[in-house]
Homo-oligomer: A and B are copies of this chain.
Amino acid sequence: MPTYSDNRPDTSEQDTNLPPPEQHARQYAAVRDAHETELIEDYVELIGDLLDHAGEARATDIAARMGVRQATVARMIRRLNDQGLVTNEPYRSIFLTERGRAMAEESRKRHGVVLQFLRSLGVDDATARIDAEGMEHHVSETTLGIMREFTLKQKGGD
């Protein structure tokens, strides 16, 4: 457990200092870690959404929604299969394993929290959707909880 220097929001101007090198490195490492899992999560989340809303997840639809070619999707599906996140048989549509379903649900929730938070901050819908898509994978549990709470308060206070 790292020792957190301070828990108060620091709104002073003392922000011109760099963190110590090791902490700095850990920050970037965290970002790289997020990047490794984020495409996987996006695919799994999208497959879950397609299964829920369309009843099936087809490579064509995934490709159209991800904005990539089918060949790219095909290889990613193989990877998801290798990782035990989806099941698929050649030329048939794709299903989530139990683990895949869990990941999809997790992603869906996280995505929802960030999106709602941005909206409740006053960000317009189209912008909120784009930003949420990118931010989603870089928001810690801690921050996610604070966002959730904030959104609820806003909703109640309106």
Q: Is the CB of A29 within 8 A of B146?
A: no
- For residue A53, CB closer than 8 A to chain B, the reply is yes
Q: Is the CB of A119 within 8 A of B65?
A: no
Interface residues in A21-62 (C-beta closer than 8 Å to B): 21-32, 34-35, 42, 49-50, 52-56, 61
Q: Is the CB of B127 within 8 A of A28?
A: no
- State in angstroms the CA–CA spacing of A45 and B23 once bound together: 16
Q: Is the CB of B21 within 8 A of A134?
A: no
- State in angstroms the CA–CA spacing of A42 and B5 once bound together: 24
Q: Is the CB of B14 within 8 A of A54?
A: yes
Of the listed stretches A74-82, A98-106, A150-158, chain B binds: A150-158
Chain A positions within 8 Å of B, measured between CB atoms, are: 2, 4-11, 14-19, 21-32, 34-35, 42, 49-50, 52-56, 61, 64-68, 92-93, 112, 115-116, 118-131, 133-135, 137-140, 142-143, 146-147, 150-151, 154-155, 158
Given contacts A15-B116, A118-B143, 8 further A-B contacts (CB under 8 A): A4-B126, A10-B125, A11-B119, A18-B49, A18-B50, A30-B130, A31-B133, A34-B134
List 30 A–B pairs whose Cβ atoms lie within 8 Å, in order of A's numbering: A4-B93, A4-B126, A6-B124, A6-B125, A7-B56, A7-B124, A9-B55, A11-B120, A14-B54, A16-B52, A16-B53, A17-B49, A18-B49, A25-B65, A27-B129, A28-B66, A30-B130, A30-B133, A31-B134, A32-B67, A121-B146, A124-B142, A127-B140, A127-B143, A131-B140, A131-B143, A133-B138, A134-B137, A134-B138, A135-B135
